[in-house]
Amino acid sequence: MVKSFQGVRVVEPKKAPVVQILVKDNMSTNLVTFNPDDTIEQVMELLTKKKISGAPVVDSSGMLVGIISEVDCLREIIKGKYSNTPKFPGKVSEHMTQDVITLSPELSLFDAAQKFLELKIRRFPVLKDGKLVGQISLSDVIRAFPKLKQTTW
């Protein structure tokens, strides 16, 4: 008579499904935007009122043409100091960053975090099929991570 002994079976623990954490799930979609013809004074007022540090610049057809930030506004403030002009008549188009790096809404939040570290940028416009659909900021990324469970990493 032959006896078969298989021994103790090791049951593999079930792995939790990998949840992809995407930019589109953590970006802001209700955006403040500016027009290239807006004045720096208008920008400063709205940035202060909304307590934000920058915003996308779009043309009349809604296409992204740049991004304006508090740092860009500082250039006009310094220019006003040197020319002794209390008004800030400069246009957004004169001070905005035109070479804008954008992200896809399908990009993982971890890849976006890496972009923030590499490029030292505080915000990225998010484009889908060339259209502005949102913006993700460094603060958005920081706010997202404490909510994650250890198993989703």
Check: CB of residue 135 under 8 Å from CB of residue 125. Answer: yes
Which residue stretches of the chain have pLDDT < 50? Answer: 151
Q: How far is CA 35 from the centre of its chain?
A: 19
Average confidence score pLDDT of the chain: 86
State the pLDDT at residue 151.
47
Using CA atoms, how far apart are residues 79 and 88, in angstroms rounded to an integer? 9
- pLDDT tens digits, one per residue of 16-44: 666 678 999 999 999 999 999 999 999 99
All structural domains of the chain, each given as residue ranges with its CATH number in brackets, are 23-152 (3.10.580.10)
What's the predicted TM-score (pTM) here?
A: 0.76
* 70-83 vs 40-50: helix crossing angle, rounded to 10: 130
